[in-house]
A and B are shown apart, each in its own frame.
Chain A
């Protein structure tokens, strides 16, 4: 593979307005919704908070990388996607008059964030929406690395899941109540390192054994509900990149034969 670089990182979650706020422990309870500035507000009518989280994480990462939001390839990845909108629609079908709002229906697709992001920025380049359960961040990274390896340029991975709404919030894993808290992360992969690359990706490998989610400094900031969010699997990589650590970092944890990145200094 060609040399690739990580050029931007981001994080948004309720209470955490940015990655800087998160790592400095500056929790702010007034941060409840993502501004999603790269999609005009008129386009965001009838969208879910998840859609806005996707856009915010992508926008912050692309801005941090100093890349062009009109040309960057966008890869949105999530486990449950637009489940909030889906529950609203099911309620209309089974407890209402069955007349679904066209706007809500359009925004119920897994690629709602992808579509609105491309429309908002006038970006006609590549965009996709993936799902891989707990391994959604890993899937997004592999797609982004393969894409930039194939055609150059930049790709942003935006990985997000929001809380699961009632009545489906308590039916995962055999009926055990497992609250999931909203979390979104963004990461830009570039063929051109630019002036301030954060890390160099030398290689993608597949590990023999599953790795437990490591205890890291970030953990003190996360709730148990955040740990169930697929986006949390990005944080060990974020920590390694921010601390300038070289070596192998897995992209998925508690998962069979995960893929990992070999990071080297730039």
Chain B
């Protein structure tokens, strides 16, 4: 598994920052290599430093999104190459979540068109290509080119639940017998559209976001990429597993395009289905990594759902105070954080959670914890359109101690 984001350019850097409680959020003016020119205040979670261009052969696919994705992919390549040797290139799927796709490149192209006359003779730069840069599936196509994979390939783009839902697609395709493994993950990059859009909705915070706090004032936007290699369980993979994906729950609010159902009904259904799919109960859960965006509505509705499914005592954290809301990459990042927590039994503090909101009646950890056993972690991702997903991830030790688990895969 791998992670790239505002907390670090590698998985080791990112997880070290998480363990130490260091945020990656900064004012946009401090960023290197990215000009957002925002007419309003906020902080963002940007990948630090310059991003390497793609290799010459893949130049047509070059976007900020693709560069971030290739950084994260490089870390999982040795594991992926071993999986290709074992399963074959047609038995491994490429399933990626994104909400922005290559919108950063399209914005640059559109800006050039507008500055050269717009509808009155404006020119889109000759190097811009809609199919290889803007198209959501350009990511999947690029990963296939780079890795040689030939299994099922698609992008899930259900806004902020995208890269949670790819895990469910992988398990289903395994159960159908089409694949033995899947490269799953999520990639999103900063762009003006999302920042202006959330500002227009009135839920973009001027300052650092404060998930679950009484004085929370909305989200920060972040970028990043996360990957996991999921493999079918057998004796060999059982011995090598870093973590287990026990099951995934998905649901639809059927309520409103941008606001959660106020009682958390859809969130609750997704969590319940994750428990059922994983063959576990609330008593098995040692941590919940919440969607926890820091909007007034999300955090209350989500906490009601958590309390209803897991009760008031299970430790709850949001990692948005570290990364910002990575939108299409949020689910994948949470999944890696969950795998890290069950492996190390370290739970980071929920950054920005104080002062506590009395309407949030769950056990949000304002301080980190490193004693005790996590065992199983749930992680939530919710989205525009009322799309909800919850992953159940367990440590290898927990799985060995509980012989009967769901039809999951290992990561």
Per the 8 Å Cβ criterion, residues 90-112 of A in contact with B are 90-91, 93-95, 98-102, 105-112
- Identify A108's interface contact among B118, B138, B197, B254, CB under 8 A: B197
- Could you tell me the distance between the alpha carbons of A198 and B75 in the complex, rounded to whole angstroms? 47
- How distant is A211 from chain B, measured CB to nearest CB, in Å? 15
Q: Are A133 and B384 in contact (CB under 8 A)?
A: no
Q: Are B175 and A149 in contact (CB under 8 A)?
A: yes
- Could you tell me the distance between the alpha carbons of A1 and B109 in the complex, rounded to whole angstroms? 46
A contacts with B: majority SS: mixed
Binds A, one of B22-30, B125-133, B237-245, B285-293: B125-133
The 8 A CB mask of B149-165 against A (1 = contact, 0 = none) is: 01011111111000001
Q: Are A94 and B114 in contact (CB under 8 A)?
A: yes
Q: How many Cβ-Cβ contacts under 8 Å join chain A to chain B?
A: 223
- Contact A129 to B156, CB < 8 A, known contacts A105-B200, A109-B99, A167-B124: yes
The 8 A CB mask of B52-75 against A (1 = contact, 0 = none) is: 000000000000000000000000
Q: Are B157 and A110 in contact (CB under 8 A)?
A: yes
Is the C-beta of A202 less than 8 angstroms from some C-beta in chain B? no
Binds A, one of B78-86, B209-217, B255-263: B255-263
Contacts of B150 in A (CB 8 A): 256-257
Per the 8 Å Cβ criterion, residues 180-232 of A in contact with B are 204, 206
Closest to A79 in B: B135
Is the C-beta of A139 less than 8 angstroms from some C-beta in chain B? yes
Is the C-beta of B122 less than 8 angstroms from some C-beta in chain A? yes
The 8 A CB mask of B96-132 against A (1 = contact, 0 = none) is: 0001010100110111011000110010101011110
Closest to B40 in A: A98
Q: Are B386 and A118 in contact (CB under 8 A)?
A: yes
- How distant is A152 from chain B, measured CB to nearest CB, in Å? 13
- Identify B254's interface contact among A124, A135, A166, CB under 8 A: A124
- How distant is B207 from chain A, measured CB to nearest CB, in Å? 21
Binds B, one of A5-13, A60-68, A171-179: A171-179
- How distant is A206 from chain B, measured CB to nearest CB, in Å? 6
Is the C-beta of A115 less than 8 angstroms from some C-beta in chain B? yes
Is the C-beta of B383 less than 8 angstroms from some C-beta in chain A? yes
Q: Are B257 and A132 in contact (CB under 8 A)?
A: no
Closest to B255 in A: A119
The 8 A CB mask of B197-213 against A (1 = contact, 0 = none) is: 11111100000000000
Q: Are A128 and B158 in contact (CB under 8 A)?
A: yes
Contacts of B387 in A (CB 8 A): 111, 114-115, 127-128
Q: Are B134 and A80 in contact (CB under 8 A)?
A: yes
Task: List 8 interface pairs A-B (beta carbons < 8 Å), by A numbering.
Answer: A1-B176, A90-B106, A101-B200, A106-B384, A111-B385, A139-B153, A142-B173, A171-B109
Contacts A95-B118, A142-B173 known; 19 new A-B pairs at CB < 8 A = A1-B177, A77-B154, A79-B137, A80-B135, A83-B134, A90-B110, A93-B107, A95-B114, A106-B258, A118-B385, A119-B386, A129-B157, A132-B137, A132-B155, A135-B154, A143-B169, A146-B172, A150-B176, A171-B129
